[in-house]
């Protein structure tokens, strides 16, 4: 079938789809901090049922660490963690692991000091990146962005990833588009039509790659009224009898 933009009537998943889902801002509503997000009741079960109906071809593609993804949804899903720096296959095997740049350890103390002096901000420290968050204190966004840029730019192995009221400094390496392509080269994704759903600039490479591969790259703001709840309802609609 031809996937259409999500202006009613909605496009639907078919059994030959491979489904790729961002987490924050796509499956889950934003919260003041990454740790305080709420996973709606029944969502992990919904994803597990979709995974089964798609022959295992469902993956979570997120900036979060793999441990964080598993904390939220359980370890039973293929996953691209930290924007594709670490890939886990549908069978649970580790497919790829990018090497973190040593410069992250050099700049971390300055970032810790910066958030300690700014109430309401925080530093999320991951294996392959450092993420500054100021959702609870947006007045500090400009200063933290400037600091992040100042610290990261001198290091060629680091890249800046702006997000919604956040800035991540990560090791240069694969992006979400490359992660999607890596999955599509392997079973159970190989030979299927990719459908990716994301919400911000870090998702754009995967949106484009899904389209290039003949599938659908969908954006929460454009295709789901900007509401993760609309994404969740759409996913659940495919579990109705005869839908998928």
Active site residue 22: yes
Pairing of strands 78-81, 58-61: parallel
Per annotation, catalytic residue among 22, 127, 175, 200: 22
Coil, strand, or helix at residue 20? strand
User: Which residues have CB under 8 Å from 130's CB, separation 6+?
Assistant: 104, 107, 108, 111, 123, 124, 168, 169, 170
User: Which residues have CB under 8 Å from 58's CB, separation 6+?
Assistant: 18, 19, 20, 21, 47, 50, 51, 77, 78
Catalytic residues: 22
């Amino acid at each position: 079938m031809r996937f259409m933009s999500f202006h009613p009537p909605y496009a639907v998943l078919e059994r030959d789809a491979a489904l790729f889902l961002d987490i924050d801002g796509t499956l889950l509503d934003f919260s003041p901090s990454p740790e305080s997000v709420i996973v709606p009741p029944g969502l992990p079960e919904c994803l597990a049922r979709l995974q089964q109906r798609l022959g295992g071809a469902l993956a979570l593609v997120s900036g979060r660490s793999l441990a964080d993804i598993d904390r939220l949804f359980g370890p039973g899903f293929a996953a691209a963690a930290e924007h594709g720096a670490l890939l886990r296959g549908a069978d649970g095997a580790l497919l790829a692991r990018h090497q973190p740049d040593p410069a992250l350890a050099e700049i971390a103390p300055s970032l810790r000091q910066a958030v300690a002096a700014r109430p309401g901000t925080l530093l999320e420290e991951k294996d392959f990146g450092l993420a500054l968050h100021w959702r609870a204190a947006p007045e500090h966004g400009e200063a933290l962005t400037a600091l992040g840029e100042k610290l990261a730019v001198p290091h060629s192995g680091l890249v800046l990833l702006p997000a919604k009221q956040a800035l991540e400094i990560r090791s240069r390496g694969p992006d979400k588009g490359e992660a999607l392509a890596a999955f599509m080269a392997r079973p159970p994704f190989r030979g299927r039509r990719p459908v990716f759903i994301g919400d911000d600039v870090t998702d754009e490479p995967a949106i484009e790659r899904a389209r290039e591969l003949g599938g659908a790259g969908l954006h929460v703001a454009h295709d789901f009224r900007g509401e993760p709840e609309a994404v969740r309802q759409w996913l659940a609609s495919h579990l109705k009898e005869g839908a998928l």
